[in-house]
Every structure is written in C-alpha cells, then in structure tokens.
Amino acid sequence: MESSAAPTVSAGHDVGPAPVDLLRRLRARGAGDPVTHVERVPARVGVPAPWPAWAPPELRAAFARRGVVAPWQHQAEAATLAYDGGHVIVATGTASGKSLAYQLPALATLLADPRATVLYLAPTKALAADQLRAVAGLELDGVRPACYDGDTPRAEREWIRRHSRFVLTNPDMLHHGILPGNAQWSGFLRRLAYVVIDECHTYRGVFGSHVAHVLRRLRRQCARFGATPVFVLASATSGDPATAAGRLTGLPVTAVTEDASPRGGVTFALWEPPLLPPDSATPAVPAQAAGDHDATTDLVQVRRSALRETADLLADTVAEGVRTLAFVRSRKGAEVVAANARRALDDAVPGLGDRVAAYRGGYLREERRELERALLHGDLLGLASTNALELGVDLVGLDAVLICGYPGTRASLWQQAGRAGRSGQEALAVLVARDDPLDTYLVHHPEAIFGAPVEATVLDPANPYVLAPQLACAAVEAPLTPADLALFGDGAKEAIDQLVEAGALRQRPTGWYWRHRERPEVDLRGEGGAPVCVVESATGRLLGTVDGGSSHFLLHPGAVYLHQGISYVVDDLDLADGCALVHVEEPDWSTHARDVTDLSVVSVRSYVDAGPVGMFLGEVDVTSQVVSYQRRRIATGEVIDTRPLDLPTRELRTVAVWFTLSPRSLASAGVQQADVPGALHAAEHAAIGLLPLMATCDRWDIGGLSTALHPDTEAPTVFVYDGHPGGAGFSERAYGTASAWLRATRDAIAECGCETGCPSCVQSPKCGNGNNPLSKPDAIRVLDVVLENLPA
C-alpha cells in the first residue's frame, strides 16, 4: 500500500559526493574489485495522463487537495479498465501510486451510485489503517469508510455493516467474521461493486492458497445475493502477475505493469565479497553466531562475510559524510554491522563512531523517532537496520543504501533500495552478496535483478489440505451444490467426497450439508503441523514459535537455539504439548542435527520424456526422522561428540519435482560411478538455493533428496519437494520453468570462484547429511546433461 502523494521527509543538508565518485573510492579500497556490475538506473520522468472522463469533478478536486494534479499513465489505464468492469492487477514499483488506481474507480462508483459498496483487503491491520486515513482524508460525502477487524469494538460493528460503504479489512477477518456472518452482511454484499486486494503478492504459498478460497467463498456469497463485484489488485513488480492474480481470484485478470511514475536516478552496484586466502578458510560458525541465520550449519566459510564487508562500507561512507542506511537480515547482524563500523570509525577519528547506530524492531516509538530525527538532520550519518524499517517507518531520501544479502524478493530489494535518493539527486545503492547460491547468482546475473522479473507469486488452490477445510467452511455458509464445483476448481469433487466419507458433510438432493453444530476451525496461516512454542523455563516467557516441520531440527533436547541473537539451550521438547523448554546459556559449541529421509513416489501428475533425462511433477510421501546431533566447538569447528536422539518420524504428503538421468548419460559426461551421489547431492542443494529466483519462496520452504538409484524411478534421481502438506505451488513452478531454473542453478555453481564447493554454490545450511558427499565439478556435468536434453 502506498499513496501516490506519500509525504517524504528530506533534510536540507549539504550535498554529498556524487554516487559514481563515491563508488569508485569504495571499490578501490581493497585488493581486487568486488564489484561485479554497476547498473545506472536512470531518473524517470513521470508520464501523466488526463483524468478519465468518467472521474467526477468532486473526486478530482478531492485528489487535487491531496496534491494529485493528474494521474500517471498506469494509474489511469488500470482505473479505466476497472471502471469498465474488467478485473485488473496493477503491478508496478514501490511508491508508484498504486492506490490511486483502485481508489479512482471505486470512489467514482460510490459517488455515482449512492447504494454501492467497496470491500478493501490488506494483509495487515496497519496497512488497512493507513489506507483508511487516505480514503477518509478525501472527505467524500456518504462514503463513510471504516476498518472492520479484530480490534473493532463490538458496539461499532453493526453501524459499519449497515452504514459504511468502504469497509477495510483483512483476509482473516473476512474468513472468520464476515463470511460466516453473511446474513448480517447481506445488505453490504448485495451492493458490492469492488473488491480491492492490496499488496496481493503477500498471498503466496499455503497462506495464499487459503486466501484464494476465501475469495471464492466471497464470490459465492455475492452471487447468492446477486452481486458480481469487480476485483482490483495491487502488487509489487513480479513475474506474470496476471496469472498469479487469476489463480488468487479464480477470475480472468488483466495486468497493468508499465510504471509511469517519476523516480530519482540510482547508481546500483552488485558487490561480491572477496574469497579468503585458502589457508585462512575457517568454519562459518562465527558468522552464524553473528546472526547471519539462526540455524545450524556445516559450512566452511571461504569468502569474507557479507556482514564484515557491509560494516566496512558503512564506515567508509560515513567517513565521507554520506548519510547511509544498511539493511541487514537479522537483528543481531545489524548490531554487529553497527558495532564494527563504529570501531573502525573510532580508530580513524576518535568520536566519529558515535555517528553510527543500530536500529531494530522492539524499540519504543520515541526511541525510533529520535533515531529517525537524528538521521534526517545529519547528527547521525549511518544506521544499520533490520527490515523492521521496511514496514513501520517513513524514512527516505538517504544518500546511500547498503543491502547486506538479497532480501528474498525483488519487491523487498526495491523497497530497500528505494530509501535512497532525495528529490532531484542521484543516490547509491549496493547489494552485498552473502555466501549463498542465490546471492552469488544474482551478482553475476544483473539481468535477473534489473531485467524483466522472473520471480512469480505462487500458490496452489488445488492443495487438498487447503481445499477440503475451505469447502467445509463454504458448506457452513451455504450448502454446496454441483454448481459450486467449477468455482472451487480442480479437486473440489474429490475433496467433497472425502468430507462426506469422513462424516463432515451429508449429501441431500439439494446439495452437500455441513453436519456439525460447530464451525470447522481453519487457520489461514496454518502450516499443517502445529507450531511449537519456545518457552523460557525460568520465567515462563514465550520467546517465539518454530513451525512444526523445523522443530525437530532446531529444538531437539540439547540443541543450542539462537533467538534474536541470544543463545539458549533446549531442556525438553514436548511434542504432545507443542512446546520446547529452554534456558539461557551460551556454551562454546554449536549443535547440528542429522536426519534420515525417505521418499516414495505416490503418483505422477505430468512429465517430460527427454531421452536420457526425465522431468517429473507429482505427489510424494516424505518420511524423515532426526536421529542424532553433533556438538562442535564454535572457535575451531572441531567435533566434540555425536549424541543420539529419540524423536518420532514425521510424514509429509506433498508435491515434488524430480529429474532422472540414465547412468549411461552420466558416464559419457565424465561422471565416475563413485561420484554420482556427490554430483546429484550438490546439484540438489544448488537447485533448492536457486528456486526462490523463480518463485516467491524461501529455501527453508523446500526440501530435497538425491540418490544414485531410487527404487521408484530406478535411476539416478534428484527430488525437490514443497515442505508443506499438499504442496504450496513451489515445485509446480519449478517444473514449469525447469530449464530456466536449472540453467540458473548450473551457472551459479560454475561461476562460483571456489574450488571444491562452498556455501555460495553447493553447500546447504540445512543439509541433514552434513554436506557430504558433494562434488561441485560433477554437479555441473549432471546439470549439463539435463539442460542438453530438456526442451527449453
């Protein structure tokens, strides 16, 4: 959500050095050039469009009071499509004014038809509240916008249902409150003209699949009352937004993607920290302890860490008097960057370190405002922050932004880079790669960042683990009929049959009826397995939750668990209660869980027969058990001991993509028989690391298994599967983009400067086998065989 006329705060202090000169000095600092690419993102002049003829003067005047003289081209185009009754998604950059694209047709309709209503959905209450302020600020008669969410007092709810014509809510409230209470909402739904879905790229994976069905339930209720609202969606820039929006809503959606808003110029550098000299390669544990990620690792660090590199860059820019914001993924990491930068500055000029601070979520509001104020006025020159700032704080107009590690999606990357640049001035942005296959790939493939986006928002409404509970909810709202099957899509009939068999639905001549008194309990953000609570024994304080799938790995008895940079040791994991008891302790070892995983193929949905290579998509059963853990000295990486664990096996029915190769093709590519397991294993790790390039997922959402001979495929095979029951759409996307995905995987491995494999290419931070065996050169050969045979 952003308004087209977001107030920007900017300081009137001296102009810093030109970004090009600044970058030249930064890169000349060490031996070798860490910069792999410099992209000059030119300033763009906005392309305004005339107000559409249908926009009433009253509305134009209201926008003009807010400083909007005319819409930008993309706003006008999307607005007119929607006003004419087409479903539309506007997928453009940060601060491009997407909100005007839906406010314009929605509000024009409310003014023209005094009965019409609008429903606006945001992923968070905070965004809905922002949008409420924006709409209310237009002061249009009779619109009466109101937020309706969990915080809305009971006393106000009825008034809103009866009188508000612009209701702002979130998918959870729609699911738990509005749809089950559809009788009370019938007046509103009957007159519903528009449904606005803001920040719709956040509806991805299992959550997105649930939301897709909540929207189908909404459409069904509207249809019962005779309404067919127009859907207007707003999204960050992404690959194939029309398809993603179509899957989310179940409707044909037109995409508007040409951004016509103005922006300042940015010099954007991609920066790869140098390899360490071979003899100084150290276990990566210190970097982990510094909070690069809160998970066990088996990695050997061969590259200078992104945290250190970012700290040096921050010190250098601050020394030049440049106001700089460094984004670091973890809170502890942000503190490490700030501390190192301060130390370096104090060494150079005592006292200069005071002009750098760390900023993270959890500060009191006044503390945050004080930091913002200090930075805007130049008292403070450098700030290291987590993404906390990405959401809550209005801080733009900096001279330089350092991004320590790819933030996971292009949307986040541009949101962070967008903090740089004061009006009319050039700014510098630097992406510092972490030692991770995706980061490595990106700094060597700038087209993946600056070219047309390939990363798509994926979801899978056909997931039976989502579909069945959603159909149960729908049946409570009104009996299901055969006419509903098409609405809920593939698999709906099977899911209904299963619900009948399980005694949840009863079939009558007029449809399928819910049999119970209580409504089904369905959590949209549920991940199948219940999350495990992490509780500090001494105080009973809840530290956080870990999803069920990771709990055995991260919370087994004896595990060292890092939470927001503080070290805890697990005393007990009570799976029945879904709770792990921990105490504060910082031992000088780390723990590394090992698991054994089995996978069997249940069915094949689709496949490509490419001679010696086969590519498959299908259902699989994954059985895994965490069986032991190693304790290792943090300082040296030395293994202290291996301790057995007694944890139950876990089973997962999910969707996988897999490829097979004939043994003969591997042999003729030069892969020795003994190296096949290491070759496949290395290819599997890198392929998992690169999948987030194609789909908005995290490598932690995905699992893999490779084997030189799989009983179901009878061939050397690499499996990559969705880590969520029933699948989340990631494997499906991987299958659909297989050659591009595996090409990127191959290039990431081949272009990594290490010799035998490192965390930037084939090592994985979540390997259950301790990253053994791995063969980097043979992984390239394996992928070459696949790519030579697979049709593009």
Chain residues that interact with Zn ion, rule: CB under 5 A = 752, 754, 758, 760-761, 767, 769
Q: Closest distance between Zn ion and the C-beta of residue 369, in Å?
A: 43
Minimum CB distance to Zn ion, residue 595 (Å): 10
Please, what is the minimum distance in Å from the beta carbon of residue 489 to Zn ion?
35
Element (H, E) at 254: strand 254-256
Helix/strand/coil for 538: coil
Strand, helix or coil at 502?
Answer: coil
Judge contact between 215 and 179, C-beta under 8 A.
no
Q: How far is CA 403 from the centre of its chain?
A: 16
**Cβ count within 10 A of residue 190:** 15
Quick check: 132 and 138 in contact, CB under 8 A? no
Closest CA to 786 of 641, 647, 616: 616
Of 297 and 760, which has the nearer Cβ to Zn ion? 760
Given a contact cutoff of 8 angstroms between Cβ atoms, the answer to whether 294 and 281 are in contact is: no
Residue placing its CB nearer to Zn ion in the complex, 181 or 770: 770
Least gap, CB of 639 to Zn ion (angstroms): 18
The CA radius of gyration of the chain, in Å to the nearest whole number, is 27
- Of the chain, the end-to-end C-alpha distance in Å amounts to 37
If the CB atoms of residues 166 and 441 are measured against Zn ion, the closer one turns out to be: 441
For residues 760 and 789, which CB has a smaller minimum distance to Zn ion in the complex? 760
With respect to Zn ion, which residue has the nearer C-beta, 100 or 780? 780
Nearer to Zn ion, 597 or 696 (CB): 597
- Closest to Zn ion by CB, 182 or 731: 731
Cα(189)–Cα(233) distance, rounded to whole angstroms? 19
Structure token pair of residue 700: 């932690």
Determine the Cα angle at 369 with ends 364 and 373, to 5°.
Answer: 150
Angle at 463 between CA 460 and CA 466, to 5 degrees: 105
Tell me how far, at minimum, the Cβ of 754 lies from Zn ion, in Å. Answer: 3
CA distance 150 to 152: 6
Q: Give me the least distance between CB of 748 and Zn ion, in Å please.
A: 9
In this complex, which beta carbon is closest to Zn ion, that of residue 335 or of residue 684?
A: 684
Residue 302 and residue 279: Cα distance in Å, rounded?
A: 10
Least Å distance, CB 403 to Zn ion, is 21
Least distance from C-beta 761 to Zn ion, angstroms?
3
Ramachandran quadrant class, 23 (left: phi over 0; alpha: psi -120 to 50; beta: rest): alpha
- Record the tokens describing residue 400, joined without a space: 């330089």
Q: Of 258 and 755, which CB lies nearer to Zn ion in the complex structure?
A: 755
- For the range 535-542, what are the long-range contacts, defined as Cβ-Cβ under 8 Å and sequence gap of 24 or more? 535/579, 535/580, 535/581, 535/582, 536/568, 536/581, 536/582, 536/583, 536/584, 537/571, 537/581, 537/582, 537/583, 538/583, 538/584
How far apart are CB 437 and Zn ion at their closest, in Å? 8
Q: How many C-alpha atoms does 742 have within 13 Å on its Cβ side?
A: 31
Which is nearer to Zn ion, 642 or 772 (by Cβ)? 772
Q: In the complex with Zn ion, which residue's Cβ is closer, 103 or 597?
A: 597
> What is the rounded CA–CA span in Å between residue 691 and residue 706?
16
User: From the CB of 445, what's the least distance to Zn ion, in Å?
Assistant: 15
Cα–Cα–Cα angle for 99, 101, 103, nearest 5°?
65
- Please state the separation of Cα 707 from the chain's center in Å: 30
Q: Are 677 and 671 in contact (CB under 8 A)?
A: no
Rounded CA gap, 118 and 193, in Å? 6
Nearest CB to Zn ion, comparing residues 236 and 758: 758
- Nearest distance in Å: CB 513, Zn ion: 48
Q: Enumerate the H helices of 290-431 as residue ranges.
A: 306-319, 331-348, 365-377, 388-392, 410-417
CA dihedral 546, 552, 554, 560 (to 10 degrees): 130
Q: How many H-runs (helices) and E-runs (strands) does the chain carry?
A: 27, 29
Q: Is the CB of 204 or the CB of 303 nearer to Zn ion?
A: 303
Least distance in Å: CB of 725 to Zn ion?
Answer: 22
In the complex, least distance from residue 623 CB atom to Zn ion, rounded to whole angstroms = 16
Chain centre to alpha carbon of residue 498: 33
Residues 483, 466 contacting (CB under 8 angstroms): no
Residue 631: CB minimum distance to Zn ion, A: 20
Give the nearer residue to Zn ion in terms of CB position, either 74 or 766: 766
**Closer of 236 and 754 to Zn ion (Cβ):** 754
Q: How far is the CB of 767 from Zn ion (least distance, A)?
A: 3
Minimum distance from residue 438 beta carbon to Zn ion (Å): 13
Complex with Zn ion: residue 419 or 685, whichever CB lies closer? 685
Cα–Cα distance list, 33 to 100, 312, 322, 402 (Å): 44, 15, 22, 17
The identity of residue 572, as a single letter, is D
Peptide bond into 252 cis (omega under 30): no
CB of 592 to Zn ion, least distance (A): 12
Is the Cβ of residue 442 or residue 758 nearer to Zn ion in the bound state?
A: 758
Say how far apart CA 287 and CA 649 lie, in whole Å.
31
Q: Helix (H, G, I), strand (E, B), or coil: what is residue 567?
A: strand
Contact present, 58 and 140 (Cβ < 8 Å): yes
Residues in the chain, total = 792
